[in-house]
Amino acid sequence: MCRHASWLGAPRTLASLIHEPAHGLLRQSYRPRLQRHGTMNADGFGMGWYDAARAEPVRYRRTIPAWTDANLAGLARTARSGCLLAAVRSASAGMPIEETATAPFTDGPWLFSHNGHVAREAVRELADDAESSCDSAWLAAAVFARRRAGDDLGEALAEVVTRAGLKDPRARLNLLACDGTSIAATAWGDTLFLHLGGHPREGVLVASEPLDDRPGWQAVPDHALVLASPDGVSVRPL
The CATH code of the domain that includes 115 is 3.60.20.10
Q: What is the reported pLDDT for 90?
A: 93
Active site residue 83: no
Domain containing residue 117: 2-237
Total domain count for the chain?
A: 1
Please tell me the predicted confidence (pLDDT) of residue 147: 96
Active-site pick, 2, 83, 134, 178: 2
Q: What is the pLDDT along the chain (238 residues), one digit of tens a residue?
A: 699 999 999 999 999 999 999 999 999 999 999 998 888 999 999 999 999 899 899 999 999 999 999 999 999 999 999 999 999 999 988 888 999 999 999 999 999 999 999 998 999 899 999 999 999 999 999 999 999 999 999 999 999 999 999 999 999 999 999 999 999 999 999 999 999 975 546 899 999 999 999 999 999 999 999 999 998 999 999 9
pTM of the model: 0.96
SS3 letters for the chain?
CEEEEEEEEEEEECHHHHCCCCCCHHHHHHCCCCCCCCCCCCCCEEEEECCCCCCCCEEEEECCCHHHCCCHHHHHHHCEEEEEEEEEECCCCCCCCCHHHCCCEEECCEEEEEEEECCHHHCHHHCCCCCCCCHHHHHHHHHHHHHHCCCCHHHHHHHHHHHHHHHCCCCEEEEEEECCCCEEEEECCCCCEEEECCCHHHEEEEECCCCCCCCCCEECCCCEEEEEECCEEEEEEC
